[in-house]
């Protein structure tokens, strides 16, 4: 996950990172992932788009044997990397 992707995650979540020099070092972990799932889930269309994009990535991976939700939510680092990529595409489509 790039710093720009992480910044987009923080902005989307409404977390204040301005003036905080340690936001880049903040590890996005399980509790953050639950908050992100709840935030994305507030809008059904965004949730469907996010899951669709993640399913596309999983289909291209070698990790096809794990159920989708276990694959997506079993690894916060993977989840937030995918979320950051999704936000880049989502934000570029709007701009």
- Please write the tens of the pLDDT for every residue from 26-51: 889 999 999 999 999 999 899 999 99
pLDDT at 19 (0 to 100): 66
pTM for this model (two decimals):
0.84
**So what's the pLDDT on residue 34?**
95
Cα dihedral 69, 71, 58, 7, rounded to 10, equals 90
For 46-63, how does the pLDDT look when each residue is reduced to its tens digit (9 = 90+)? 999 999 999 999 988 877
Dihedral sign of CA atoms 40, 42, 45, 51 in order: positive
Task: Check if the beta carbon of residue 47 is closer than 8 Å to that of residue 86.
Answer: no
> Residues 83, 1: contact at Cβ < 8 Å?
no
Taking residue 27's Cβ as centre, other Cβ atoms within 10 Å add up to 8
């Amino acid at each position: 996950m790039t710093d720009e992707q992480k910044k987009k995650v923080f902005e989307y979540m409404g977390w204040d990172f301005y003036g905080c020099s340690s936001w880049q070092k903040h590890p996005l972990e399980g509790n953050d992932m639950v908050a992100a799932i709840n935030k994305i889930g507030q809008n059904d269309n965004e949730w469907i788009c996010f899951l669709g994009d993640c399913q596309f990535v999983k289909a291209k991976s070698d990790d096809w044997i794990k159920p989708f939700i276990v694959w997506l939510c079993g690894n916060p680092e993977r989840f937030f990397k995918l979320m950051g990529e999704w936000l880049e595409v989502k934000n570029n489509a709007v701009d």
